[in-house]
């Protein structure tokens, strides 16, 4: 078992969630190698922001695994306990993407969703690879 921390920063909570997703993709491959051509709609709901972050990342992991895709761009909207998003990506091309690891799941380890005193947001957790 191995663990890697992912963190996202943003002016808004949504932007921070998008950046955490991009950080998770960076564990797998260089996001610049991903052609964001195929949209996939994703929805989650959780009683608090921390659990919503874990659900969001796990939903992305599920979609990447079941569709054999990798994502490179995200658009997130959060309204109360609900997250609606679009992730854009493409089918995995092992030669071009050169996946380093398979992310198995987002965990509660290091889980944090924080509004920063200077403005903006920081979100983070550890993913199991």
Instruction: Please give the chain's pLDDT, 129 residues, in tens.
Output: 579 999 999 999 999 999 999 999 999 999 999 999 999 999 999 999 999 999 999 999 999 999 999 999 999 999 999 999 999 999 999 999 999 999 999 999 999 999 999 999 999 999 999
pLDDT of residue 34: 97
Separation CA 16–CA 30 (nearest Å): 19
Distance CA 98, CA 89 (A): 15
Helix axes 49-67, 13-28, angle to 10 degrees: 40
3-state per-residue secondary structure call for 75-119: EEEEECCEEEEEEEEEECCHHHHCCCCCCCEECCCCCEEEECCCC
Give this prediction's pTM: 0.96
- The ranges assigned to domains in the chain are 3-128
Residue whose pair of structure tokens reads 């990447």 in the numeric block: 64
Six-digit token pair at 116?
Answer: 């920063």
Angle ∠(114,120,121) on CA atoms, nearest 5: 30
- The span from the CA of 94 to the CA of 101, in Å, is 12
Q: Which CATH number fits domain 3-128: 3.40.50.800, 3.55.10.10, 2.60.40.180, 3.40.640.10?
A: 3.55.10.10
């Amino acid at each position: 078992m191995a663990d890697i921390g992912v963190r996202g920063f943003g002016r808004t909570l949504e932007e921070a969630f998008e950046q955490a997703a991009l950080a998770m993709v960076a564990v797998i491959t260089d996001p610049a190698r991903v052609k964001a051509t195929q949209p996939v709609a994703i929805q989650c709901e959780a009683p608090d922001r921390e659990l919503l972050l874990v659900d969001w990342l796990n939903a992305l992991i599920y979609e990447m695994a079941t569709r054999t895709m990798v994502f490179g761009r995200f658009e997130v909207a959060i309204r109360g306990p609900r997250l609606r998003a679009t992730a854009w990506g493409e089918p995995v091309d092992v030669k071009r993407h050169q996946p380093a690891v398979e992310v198995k799941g987002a965990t509660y380890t290091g889980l944090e969703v924080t509004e920063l005193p200077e403005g903006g947001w920081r979100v983070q957790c550890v993913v199991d690879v």
